[in-house]
Amino acid sequence: MFLSVQTWLGLLLLHTVALAVVARKERRNVLFIMADDLRTSLGCYGDTVVKSPNIDQLASKSQVFLNAYAQQAVCGPSCTSMLTSRRPDTTRLYDFNSYWRVHAGNYTTLPQYFKSRGYNTMSVGKIFHPGIASNHTDDFPYSWSIPPYHPPSFIYEKEKMCKGDDGKLHANLLCAVNVTEQPGRTLPDLESTEEAVRLLKSRTNDDTPFFLAVGFHKPHIPFRIPQEYLSLYPIDQMTLAPDPSVPNLLPPVAYNPWMDLRRREDVQKLNTSFPYGPIPKDFQLRIRQHYFAAVSYMDAQVGQLLSTLDELGLAHNTMVVFSSDHGWSLGEHGEWAKYSNFDVSTRVPLIFYVPAVTTARGRPRQESTFPFIDVFSQSERSFKTDRIIRNVVELVDVFPTVSYLAGLRAPEPCPDVSFKEQLCTEGDNLAYTFRWRERGKDAEDISFSQYPRPADTPQVNSDLPSLKEIKVMGYSLRSWDYRYTLWLGFNPTTYQVNVSDVHAGELYMLEDDPGQDNNLYNGSDYRLMMRKMANLHHAASLQKRMRLQLLYLTAGMKTSRGKA
């Protein structure tokens, strides 16, 4: 039977419309959850101390990336890098004092991309860093359909809210409180949870897909948290970091003198010498206790969000992403806070729950996916997942991966120089791992992190120098086997790094030294490899050059170890 041209065109039109309808139906909502200063101290990442039952439950039904790294271990630059999928050298944001759209390029953000594709995009809490770094608007109206929400009680976060032993209020680091005595009888993350739940409820009768980003402030300091969470971590059960001393061969430029802790009243009373003087052991234990308690408090807020998805019948078509802007040192290498290139500062949790992808298809919708788990009444239970990916990945990978898994087209890779490109990604689409899993120990996956310093020795502004103060930039590559860092001269006026001006270096063999305590950079094996690297000037970028250097190092160090 022959059909007329008009009939064929009509059938083609119907087919096209049908595909469009299917595509709309396949688009997933996105609940994008960010913690602040959260390292991989979670049960699902193998931590046997921290109690995080709700995040662990999420992980049990998700794809879990064990080796995910931030591009810079400080809030503003990391958030901007992740949300634009551009590295700090492209956003040109290394501090909190510029807005990338004016300073570097009018880059499309992750929520902006979803908004341009018909999503209702909403922000609660700390997603973009507030202030100049997001144009004092959290990048509204570019990124968000409605003005972002910030918890009103956050204005008290830096005030004297912590009751000391003298009965007076202080601006302390350790700040467990009676919530009923706080202004408004609440705390910022409690308010953010309440607002996020309200927004989820508002979507139940709306067919427009949504992208809801919720940023919790904890476990960021000060540890102003409900005091009852300390009971989960008795102080006599706390232990020190396994490597609490500054490594002998750590170059001074690499050290983070944790000035934000030193400025707290309770830390000032310790009279700890600058920059290397250790915090007394009893106070170290209390810091660790309060950090873990803050993690459990934040976990309870995540549990409230996830259980709301269940109650509203949204868990079957809402993708959940959970991560953090960077990690936090808890005494490792004699350091505290972030502000470095060590794994404890750059490594973050990265968890993707994708309905019908990370969970079985055809599961009854009435079946509870994320029942709330009260950590105080929790019986001993563990959540396991067989969807664990050990590949080394980066936060710049989040944008293309979330886009693709939600049903949108992932942005195209950026060219080597992308300042004029509004929409592209400097990361990779990790969706292939959801089908093909990890590529194995010998894969060449590498993460790329960096941190600026004002001098070769620790200064009071070493943790967070302003742009004009940056004189040295530490570029760090992390592979499966090694962390390799070069501290290079940097010109803050031209944003140029001088690859010939090497101030210091670090090289850690992770199989023998997982804590990164033995710097081999100046060893004989390393010097031998440097001779073989002399002709790497053809590499188009610093990242590519360091990648080649690391590959040379990997081959050479393995060979020398085999001869030993």
Residue corresponding to tokens 């979670």: 42
Angle separating helix axes 542-563 and 524-532, nearest 10 degrees: 130
Strand 329-330 to strand 210-215: parallel, antiparallel, or no bridges (unpaired)? Answer: unpaired
Nearest Cα to 345, choosing from 46, 77, 1, 28?
Answer: 77
CA distances from 25 to 169, 283, 317, 504 (A): 54, 54, 9, 54
Active site residue 175: no
Strand 318-324 to strand 347-353: parallel, antiparallel, or no bridges (unpaired)? Answer: antiparallel
What is the rounded distance in angstroms from the CA atom of residue 499 to the CA atom of residue 398? 29
Nearest-Å Rg of the Cα atoms of the chain is: 24
Question: What SS3 state is found at 62?
Answer: coil
Torsion (CA) 392, 219, 293, 167 in degrees, nearest 10: 160
545, 536 in Cβ contact below 8 A? yes
> How far is the first Cα of the chain from the last one, in angstroms, to the nearest whole number?
78
- Which residues touch 442 (CB under 8 Å, ≥6 apart)? 480
Element (H, E) at 311: helix 281-311
Which residue out of 44, 75, 79, 162 is catalytically annotated?
A: 75
Helix, strand, coil abundance in the chain, percent, nearest 5? 35, 20, 45
Active site residue 75: yes
Which residue out of 44, 79, 129, 424 is catalytically annotated?
A: 129
What is the rounded distance in angstroms from the CA atom of residue 499 to the CA atom of residue 486? 9
The residue type found at 233 is Y
- Which residues touch 543 (CB under 8 Å, ≥6 apart)? 448, 475, 477
What is the per-residue burial (b if ≥16 Cβ within 10 Å, else e) of 204-215?
Answer: eeeeebbbbbbb
CA distances from 275 to 258, 430, 471 (A): 8, 40, 19
143, 153 in Cβ contact below 8 A? no
Nearest Cα to 125, choosing from 26, 220, 196?
Answer: 196
Which are the catalytic amino acids? 75, 129
